[in-house]
Structures are given as structure tokens and as C-alpha cells.
Structure 1
């Protein structure tokens, strides 16, 4: 009787795949094609994606407040209605504050443009460029002749803007009311316990960082808006509320927003005052206050929790502005914060090793 003794299977050797430069080039080409396709989809579907993304970002920012109201026993639907109504009410209040001064500014725009061109023409080295501009298609007379066309073009964009606002309001309320359901669904996608705990930690960290950024930004930029309104009032620019609210809103767009307000204050000062020194003095004061805020106050308050590379932040602002316009510029910083938080969880930094000499 022969008894077969089971023998162990020989260990399998791992075959090392040798990739050539062409293989790596093909991999990067596929990644590049997917990136281009993703950017194209974001651009083509911007009409729907802009209000939806804005609603999700605002919903994440209001997540901590929703948790506080939920802990008080308030139903999720009522919590969503309260927070959505509060946010929309604040936006309407800001718009109503700047509506009057902005309407007056639009009415006086031709006179302001004419005064600005006359002032620039008085500068010798700008005389020829200004004269060519006044005679060209962008002159004030041509703009006034085509005012009806310009207003009709703006009117055609009112209905799509109102539709986007409705999509945003509905998305924000539905996201806040079903936030915990969506959260549980995202966590249940993962199968084992460690990954679910990592997902919970990641979601909590995103909401905490966004809430901290938004609360800190509101406090800092509100004081900055008050200082801008004070500078406009002392500098005789008129409509201090307009300058204060504009500075507060545009401060959420680093670099580009403050640069826009500074240039506008400089132009307004040159139109109000006769000499260049007194005309540029409000803009210089605004620029110095912004420098103190950006280099001393904001880094000390926000600290390393929201430390971002300035160049990468500027690239993100330019990219989202090019892709989604003004709303993209407002969303650039929150989206960058979300991406940095997610990358920090996926690729946690290792223990730093000292670079000692040999």
C-alpha cells in the first residue's frame, strides 16, 4: 500500500517587472488625459456645479453650528431652515447695504470716467495714450451710446443668475438636513473598522478646519472692513459703507481682492483730491493696514493650523477664477483648505530627520 506524503509547494518567485521610460510616459499621459477631461467637465457643467459646490462648502462650514443645534434637540430639517435662512439673510443684508451707494456710483460713472481721463491726460507721459483711448471704441462717448446694449446684455444674465441662486439655496438646505445621512453613507463605503475610523476622523477634521477658517476670517475681515470704511470717511472718498463692505467681501479673495480695492481707492482719491499726494494717501493707508493684517495679525491668529504656501494659493485662485469666474475666486481658499486636509490624511508627514553633516 503506497501512501502519498503531501509535499510543500515550492515557493513562488516574485517576478520583478521592469518598466521602461515609455511605460512611465504612457502612465503620465493617461493621468494627463484624465486631468484634462476633468477640467473640461468642470468647465462645461459650471452652471450646475458652481451652486452645488458653493452649497456643499457653506454646508461644511455651518456643520459645527448644525451639530450644536442638533444637540439642543432641534430637528435636522428645522436646523437646515434656520441656518440657510440666516446665511441668505446675511447675504441679502450685505447686498442691500451696498446697493444704494453702488447705484449712485453707476449713475455718476460717466462723469467719474471723464474726470479720471482728464487727470491722466494732465500727466505728460500719459497724454498720448489717453487721447488715443478717448478717440477709440472704448471712449466714454461710445460707452454712453451703447448703454442700452450693455444693459440688455446684463439683463439677459439676470435669469440664469437667479436660477443658480435658487439651486444654491435648495442645495444648501437639503445638504444641511441630510448631512448626517450622507456622512453615514460615506463611512459605510469602507468595509473594515480602521478605515471607517479614518474616514470619520477625516470628515471631522475637514469640518473643523473649514469652520475655524470661516469664523476667524469673519472676525478679522470685519475689523478690516471697519478700518477701510474709516479710511474712506477720513479721506473724503464718500460712501464709507460701500468701501467697508467691499473690503470685507473681497478680503476672502487673497491677493486679487485686496489689489482691486486698493486700485479703486487710489482712483477715487485722485478724482476727489486735486493733488496726487492727497489723492493717493487713502490708498497708501489702506495698503499699509492690509500689510499689517496679512503679515502679522492673520498668521498669528490662524497659526500653523491653516498654513498654506502663498504661491500655491495664488495659483489656486488664478485657476478657479479662470474656471468659474468670481465665485471660483471666492471658493479657491476653502477648496484649497479641503484638498490640503485630505492630502494630509492620505499622506501624513513622516518624522523629520535632521540633516547633519558627514
Structure 2
């Protein structure tokens, strides 16, 4: 008699679903051209695009406060004006508070150059050697310019440079305020119009989900780093006060602002606080103390606390963060470096939600 035997079939383990990759060469080619065109336009029209991007980021930062004022039945136009006045009133107040100490330190710097040269005499020979090497490289294969060419190649005067920089800053500041006011005033009107033109319900829902996640994650990122930067600024202000350097508001503001720029801001901050220590103290260990404490605060805040607070929302590939930082610094200078991480986070959120771009979003993940 035949014996029926039941054979247990073990189902194969579920493999992760493959991320879709664009395979049509035309799509890839057109996508690359579109990205290059957008970047070229952002570079050429930086006087308009940069204030607009800054205004969008500031709008995300102020959105929760805007909704709180609306729940208190404050008219939207009045709420927008109050938030802008509070934000830029704080900026102007800080600028007025640090302008005097900053001028004092700027006047002290030329007098302290001989002292710095004496303190850093051990570095003089390596620097001179490097300068001679760079001069040889620069002069390699170059012809001696004529006196006429040398005269015509002279750069602008210091007064012209300062005037141009002040004018550009004032123009960008005014444009940012104008954009921010109308963005706060318009509320979610752009999102509503975008949802209305979507053909399918799934597309409408996807647009709303992307918008909500961008607002939630970027707002959390901006609020978190602002609070942490303020903590670093307060700590450095107290350090400069207790160590005898003085001007705690100035140095706290410097630490607060530089901490918005990843990596480059830290390097510049260490250099600035080292310079302040060398100009103030006679002993080397005292001169190194402000820069050392600033770097220690950065390690605690930037490498431990802030990543722990933000890890649940999103993580970014650190190599791509550095590349983005350098690229946007080249494109837009210091403002571009400040905006590099938020813009990269926005790109990742969009890629994670749009299925054809999911592979690229996975590539951006840390």
C-alpha cells in the first residue's frame, strides 16, 4: 500500500523589492540636461534664486509659529508682519550689539600682527617654502607682463569692494524679506493649486504627503540646529567671559552663526578663537584654551547630540553632505553652504516618495 508522505514546502524568504531604476537612455539624458539647466539658472540668477530659497527655508522655520498665531485668531497679514519684525528685529539688535566690539577687535588686529608673527615664528619657514613653491608653479611657462598690462589688471579699490558688498547684501536682504512676507501671507495656496491640477487621487495624496514630510522634517532640522547652535553660542560666550577675553555677546554670536555651516564653519571657528586667544594671552596654553573648548563643544553637539536628535527623521550620506557643501559654497558662497544640508534633505525626501527616484533617494541615505 502506498504511503502518502506530506512534503513540507518552505517558502523562500521574501527578498526586498528592487528599487526602480530609469532604463530609457532618453529619460536619463533629458534628466541630466534638466538638472544642468536648473543649476546654470540658479548660478546666473543667484540674485533672485538665493533670496527665494532663503525665504522658503525661513518660511518652514516660522510655519509652526504662524499656525499658532492663526489659532489665536490673529489676522494672517498681521501674523506675517509680527514674525518678520521679530526675526529681523533680533538680527538687527544682535548686529547693533556686536558692531562696537567687532570694530574694537578689527582695530586691535593690525597692532597685534607683530605679536602673532612672534608667536607663530615656528611656522614661518614652512609657509615661506610653500609660498616659493606656489610662486614657481604660477610662473611656470608664464611671460612677464608689460607695465601697461599690469596697470590695467589692477583690481578694484577697497572702498569700491566695500560699497559693492554692502549694496549686494542690502539688496539680497530686502528681496528675502519681500519673498518671506508673501510666502507667509499665501499660506498653503501653492500646495492647494498643485493638488488641484494632479490628475489622479493617488497623485494628489502623494503631493500632500511629500509636502507634509518636507515641512515636518526640515522644520525639525532647523529648530533643532538653531537650539543647539544657540547653546554652543551661549557656552562660548561664557568661556570668553570667564577666561578674560571679554565681549561675550560678540563671540557667542560668532559661534552661533558659524555653527550653521557644517565642517567649514567649525574650521573657521577654531581659527577665529585661536586668533583671539593669541591676541589676548601671553602663555600658549591660555591662548589655545578658547579654540580647544570650541572644538570640544562642536564634538559634543555636532557629533553626538544633534545626530541623535535627528537620526529618527532622516540621515544623509556624509560624503554627499561634504560634496553638497563644497558645491553650493562655490555656487553661492557662505549662504549656499548654510542652505546645502536643508536642500539635500529636501531632495532626499522627494526621491523617497517618488517611486522612479527611490533608488537615488536610497543612494543619498547615510
TM-score (norm 2): 0.78
Q: State the partner residue of 2:4.
A: none
Contact 1:77 1:177 in 2 (8 A): yes
Equivalent residue number for residue 106 of structure 2: 106
Alignment of 1:215-230 (within 5 A): 215-230=223-238
CA distance in 2, matches of 1:117, 1:30: 56
Matched, 1:172 2:180: yes
**C-alpha separation between the residues in 1 aligned to 2:184 and 2:324?**
27
Partner of 2:20: none
In 1, the alpha carbon distance for the partners of 2:174 and 2:301 equals 35
Contact 2:55 2:180 (8 Å CA) reproduced: yes
| Distance (Å, rounded) in 2 between the aligned partners of 1:204 and 1:235 | 46
Residue by residue, what CA displacement relative to the aligned partner does 1:65-109 show, whole Å, maximum 9, x if unpaired?
Answer: 222222222222122112222211122122223212111122222
| Distance in 2 of aligned mates of 1:254 and 1:303 | 17
1:232 touches 1:238 (CA, 8 Å); kept in 2? yes
Structure 1 residue 223: deviation in Å? 1.1
1:30 is displaced (CA, Å) by 4.6
1:267 counterpart (272, 275, 291) = 275
Is 1:300 paired with 2:302?
no
Matched, 1:75 2:103: no
Residue deviations 1:148-205, cap 9 Å, x none? 9313321122223212211111111011101222221121121222211221121111
| Mapping for residues 1-358 of structure 1, pairs under 5 Å | 24=25, 28-121=28-121, 123=122, 126-127=124-125, 129=127, 149-347=157-355
Question: Partners of 2:27 and 2:203 in 1: how far apart?
Answer: 28
2:34 and 2:62 map into 1 onto residues whose CA distance is: 33
Contact 1:70–1:79, Cα closer than 8 Å, also in 2:
yes
Distance 1:211 1:38 in 2: 25
Q: Which runs of 5+ in 2 are unaligned?
A: 1-22, 132-153, 360-366
What is the RMSD computed on CA atoms of the aligned residues?
Answer: 2.7
Residues 32 and 341 of structure 1: CA distance in aligned 2, closer, same or farther (over 3 Å): closer
> CA contact under 8 A between 2:277 and 2:286: conserved in structure 1?
yes
Q: How big is the shift at 1:323?
A: 0.3
- What is the distance in 2 between the residues matched to 1:271 and 1:158? 28
Structure 1 residues 40 and 214: alpha-carbon distance in aligned structure 2, compared to 1, 3 A threshold: same
The Cα of 1:28 is off from its aligned counterpart by: 4.9
- Indicate how the Cα distance of structure 1 residues 202 and 169 shifts in structure 2: closer, same or farther if over 3 A, else same: same
Query: Is the contact made by 1:120 and 1:130 (CA closer than 8 Å) also made in structure 2?
Result: no
1:141 aligns with none
Q: Tell me how far apart the structure 2 counterparts of residues 129 and 47 of structure 1 sit (CA, whole Å).
A: 38
Show structure 1 runs of 5+ residues with no match: 1-20, 134-145, 351-358
Equivalents in 1 of 2:256, 2:126: separation in Å?
A: 37
Contact 1:321/1:327 (8 A) holds in 2:
yes
Aligned length: 314
Cα distance in 2 between the residues matched to 1:249 and 1:212: 18
1:218 to partner: Cα distance: 2.0
